């Protein structure tokens, strides 16, 4: 095989590089930071800004195909690269997913269910906005993740202050929903439009950050089928090529699309341990026009994110008790090799696999206790 590249050097890029290396590819990473998780293990690490045309050209000429590991690369950089080599996903898909206004508008235009929302750019008459949006959540259109760039808006009177709180940037105001639960569907779509979807995952968040992902999701089979179908429609409408993560709200038994990640997704990490193929190898296969693999799960799994807080003990840095965690049957520990632990920073995850869902859940609870994490939310 030839060389492949990825824009972005985080843990998602790291697993992409690992998948590519496993299949014998030479690997390139373009990321502005030294010592990124993906840059550390790639054959070539270009330390450059994403809009550095010289670096993009160099990578493009060296690689048979290039993908991205996050949605905030400038869509123009993808267009620039696409003149030099194969790029997937394309800029169209990334453009929609990197801006909540474009994303919500896309969902609305394609008849894909979503939460009621309005665009907030500043200076609008809050009293004129639909009443159903209150209480709501104001979310910056760009660059938010893990619940950052969001503010609560209880009443129309709070809108101006909330907008100032997130920096006055373009945003969407969304109705605050009473969620039954949250699901996500990770799928891969190849250049011919063929798709393979992993089973829907059930997700729990704490303070806007993904805490736990459970496979199989504890919802009726019919709802799982509906979720998969909805995600396939999203991928189709985007014309997406590569791996795609679709976050879904379950509200009064109905599914709504929350947001779309044009790349592998944190909730797809269980696939590293409970499926015959993982979301990163599917990304590679789609990118290179190779056949997509059967995504069936061979085990139940519960994944728990390991955030930087776990390393921080009253201001001091300490290593969690990995030996205790590794003693849990079925526990698979993943650390991303990030140098500095910061509150809320994703440092790694643990997935507990077991033949039965109950055993995986028990194992995850044990794994949490082993490293001193509080019990799962919800």
Q: In this structure, are residues 360 and 315 in contact, taking their beta carbons and an 8 Å threshold?
A: no
Binding at 21: pick from Mg ion, ligand ATP, none (beta carbon under 5-8 Å per type) = none
Closest CA to 339 of 4, 3, 9, 5: 9
Residue with Cβ nearer ligand ATP (271 or 305) = 305
Binding at 179: pick from ligand ATP, Mg ion, none (beta carbon under 5-8 Å per type) = ligand ATP
Binding at 147: pick from Mg ion, ligand ATP, none (beta carbon under 5-8 Å per type) = ligand ATP
Burial of 323 (0-12, 13-18, 19+ CB in 10 A): exposed
Residue with Cβ nearer ligand ATP (175 or 224) = 175
Q: In this structure, are residues 287 and 65 in contact, taking their beta carbons and an 8 Å threshold?
A: yes
Smallest separation, CB 266 to ligand ATP (Å):
7
Binding at 298: pick from Mg ion, ligand ATP, none (beta carbon under 5-8 Å per type) = none
Q: At what angle do helices 53-62 and 75-82 cross, to 10 degrees?
A: 50
Q: 3-state class of 163 per DSSP? A: helix
Smallest separation, CB 100 to ligand ATP (Å):
8
Q: In this structure, are residues 162 and 172 in contact, taking their beta carbons and an 8 Å threshold?
A: no
Smallest separation, CB 172 to ligand ATP (Å):
9
Smallest separation, CB 258 to Mg ion (Å):
6
Residues in touch with ligand ATP (CB under 6 A): 115, 137, 139, 144-148, 174-177, 179, 182, 205, 208, 247, 258-259
Tokens of 128: 């004129």
Binding at 322: pick from ligand ATP, Mg ion, none (beta carbon under 5-8 Å per type) = none
Helix (H) or strand (E) holding 6: strand 3-7
Smallest separation, CB 346 to ligand ATP (Å):
9
Binding at 344: pick from ligand ATP, Mg ion, none (beta carbon under 5-8 Å per type) = none
Could you tell me which residues are annotated as the binding site for ATP? 100, 139, 144-150, 174-177, 182, 205, 258-259
Residue with Cβ nearer Mg ion (145 or 322) = 145
Binding at 174: pick from Mg ion, ligand ATP, none (beta carbon under 5-8 Å per type) = ligand ATP
Binding at 177: pick from Mg ion, ligand ATP, none (beta carbon under 5-8 Å per type) = ligand ATP
Q: In this structure, are residues 100 and 119 in contact, taking their beta carbons and an 8 Å threshold?
A: no
Could you tell me which residues are annotated as the binding site? 100, 139, 144-150, 174-177, 182, 205, 258-259
Smallest separation, CB 75 to ligand ATP (Å):
18
Tokens of 326: 């590794």
Closest CA to 282 of 359, 190, 369, 217: 190
Residue with Cβ nearer ligand ATP (145 or 322) = 145
Residue with Cβ nearer ligand ATP (40 or 142) = 142
What is d(CA 23, CA 26) in angstroms, rounded to the nearest whole number?
9
Torsion of CA 365, 366, 368, 372, to 10 degrees: 130
Helix (H) or strand (E) holding 136: strand 136-140
Residue with Cβ nearer ligand ATP (169 or 179) = 179
DSSP state of 85: S
Number of H helices, E strands in the chain: 12, 20
Residue with Cβ nearer ligand ATP (103 or 196) = 103
DSSP state of 114: B
Residue with Cβ nearer ligand ATP (113 or 290) = 113
Smallest separation, CB 143 to ligand ATP (Å):
9
What is d(CA 84, CA 202) in angstroms, rounded to the nearest whole number?
39
What is d(CA 323, CA 28) in angstroms, rounded to the nearest whole number?
34
Smallest separation, CB 187 to Mg ion (Å):
17
Residues in touch with Mg ion (CB under 5 A): 145, 247, 259
Tokens of 9: 């050097």
């Amino acid at each position: 095989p030839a060389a492949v590249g990825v824009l972005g050097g985080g843990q998602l890029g790291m697993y992409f590089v690992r998948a590519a290396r496993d299949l014998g590819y030479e690997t390139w990473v373009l990321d502005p930071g030294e010592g990124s998780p993906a840059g550390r293990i790639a054959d070539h690490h270009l330390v450059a800004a994403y809009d550095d045309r010289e670096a993009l050209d160099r990578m493009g000429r060296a690689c048979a195909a290039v993908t991205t590991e996050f949605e905030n690369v400038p869509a123009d950089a993808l267009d620039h690269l696409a003149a030099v080599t194969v790029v997937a996903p394309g800029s169209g898909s990334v453009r929609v997913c990197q801006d909540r206004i474009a994303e919500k508008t896309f969902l609305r235009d394609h008849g894909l269910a979503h939460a009621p929302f309005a665009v907030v750019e500043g200076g609008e008459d809050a009293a004129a906005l639909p009443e159903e949006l209150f209480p709501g959540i104001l979310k910056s259109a760009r660059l938010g993740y893990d619940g950052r760039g969001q503010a609560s808006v209880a009443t129309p009177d709070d809108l101006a202050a909330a907008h100032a709180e997130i920096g006055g940037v373009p945003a969407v105001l969304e109705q605050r929903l009473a969620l039954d639960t949250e699901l996500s569907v990770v799928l891969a779509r190849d250049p011919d439009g063929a798709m393979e979807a992993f089973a829907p995952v059930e997700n729990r968040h704490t303070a806007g950050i993904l805490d736990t992902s459970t496979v199989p999701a504890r919802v009726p089979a019919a709802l799982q089928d509906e979720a998969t179908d909805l995600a396939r429609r999203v991928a189709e409408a985007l014309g997406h090529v590569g791996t795609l993560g679709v976050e879904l709200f379950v509200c009064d038994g109905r599914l709504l699309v929350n947001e779309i990640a044009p790349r592998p997704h944190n909730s797809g990490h269980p696939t590293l341990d409970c499926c015959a193929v993982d979301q990163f190898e599917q990304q590679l296969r789609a990118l290179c026009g190779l056949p997509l693999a059967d995504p069936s799960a061979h085990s139940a799994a519960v994944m728990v994110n390991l955030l930087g807080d776990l390393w921080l003990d009253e201001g001091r840095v300490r290593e969690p008790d990995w030996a205790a965690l590794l003693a849990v049957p079925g526990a698979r520990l993943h650390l991303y090799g990030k140098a500095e632990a910061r509150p809320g920073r994703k440092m790694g995850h643990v997935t507990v696999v077991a033949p039965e869902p109950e055993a995986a859940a028990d194992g995850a609870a044990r794994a949490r206790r082993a490293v001193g994490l509080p019990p799962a939310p919800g």
